[in-house]
Amino acid sequence: MTNKKDTISIRGIVLRQTFYKENDAIITSLGSDGLFSFYARGVNKISSKNFAPCSLLMDSCFILNVSSNNKKSLKEGAAITSYLIDKDFSSLALSNFIIELTLKTMDEDDDEGKEIYPYFLSSLKAIKESDNYLGVGVCYFIKTLSILGYGLNLNSCIRCQKSKSIVGISYEDGGFVCADCFNEKDYRLNAETMKFLHYCDLVSPDKIALLPKINSSIFPIIENLGYFIEKEAGISLKTIKLLKVI
């Protein structure tokens, strides 16, 4: 972010448009500086020069006016790249899920938004370039939980810390479970799924597009991660149910 008198130049991907009055909107975006929002006057007019830069999932550069009480308003914007992915229902559903997860877990001016941005951007690129939708969704969910401080232990048994004979996962305790510690409340996983989850835990943003596509059904994992984040952080995600048909 660069400051110049009472204006700033900042880049971000539009996550939400909250329409106000007839043609105005409050725009919420995520960029390398984290989550930020600003007031955009007349942006809902198709004839507005800022209509495209403020469109959903548009990566744009914004020039913002900043008042003495730190309220931001749009001076002008320039659209760079659109990540609006509507090639099919699955890609659209996953995009909406990633947006909801981000908006409900990240706050403005917090470092978490800065940390999640590289994974957010890489996930959108991966959705655009491949059809490994649920794999990308699981990976982004795991990374979000980790950044929030609710990371799962996907390296060893959550109960005894042994790294051998892992057979399943406990969403109650938050991690892998070995054969000796496994009980009726845990979920048994096959080797392919456990390897995939371990990979997601370690993957860097630039490798998300290379996530392996597994044969096992992984929607139950996203569903259970939804229960986990609701239990741990009180966050309910409505868009998870849309992913069931993928």
Q: What is the pLDDT of residues 66-83, one digit of tens each?
A: 998 889 999 999 999 999
Residue among 85, 77, 35 nearest 53 (CA): 77
Asked whether the beta carbons of 146 and 229 are under 8 A apart, the reply is: no
Please give the pLDDT value at position 32: 96
Which pair of tokens denotes residue 124?
Answer: 């959108």
Which pair of tokens denotes residue 11?
Answer: 């880049």
Q: Is 80 helix (H, G, I), strand (E, B) or coil?
A: strand
Please give the pLDDT value at position 3: 46
- Token pair 């057979």 in the structure block, residue: 167
Please, what sign has the CA dihedral across residues 76, 20, 103, 131? negative
Asked whether the beta carbons of 118 and 28 are under 8 A apart, the reply is: no
Of 82, 105, 123, the domain-final residue: 82
- Residue 47 shares a structural domain with residue 107: no
- Residue 56 shares a structural domain with residue 171: no
The full DSSP string for 154-193 is -SS-TTT---SSEEEEETTTTEEEETTT--TTSEE--HHH
Can you tell me the distance from the alpha carbon of 197 to that of 182, in angstroms, rounded to the nearest whole number? 18
Task: Read off the pLDDT of residues 97-122 as tens digits, 9 standing for 90 and up.
Answer: 999 999 999 999 899 999 999 999 99
Residue among 217, 226, 221, 225 nearest 246 (CA): 217
- Residue 136 shares a structural domain with residue 174: yes
- Residue 103 shares a structural domain with residue 202: yes
pLDDT at 88 over 90: no
Task: Read off the pLDDT of residues 160-189 as tens digits, 9 standing for 90 and up.
Answer: 999 999 999 999 999 999 999 999 999 999
9 DSSP 8-state letter: E
Domain boundaries, position 175: 89-245
- Residue 117 shares a structural domain with residue 234: yes
Residue 150: how many other CB atoms lie within 10 Å: 17
Please give the pLDDT value at position 5: 56
Residue 38: how many other CB atoms lie within 10 Å: 23
Torsion, Cα 8 205 245 221, to 10 degrees, reads -120
Can you tell me the distance from the alpha carbon of 87 to that of 90, in angstroms, rounded to the nearest whole number? 8
Whole-angstrom CA distances from 130 to 33, 56, 87, 180 are 27, 21, 11, 39
Q: What is the count of structural domains for the chain?
A: 2
- Residue 96 shares a structural domain with residue 122: yes
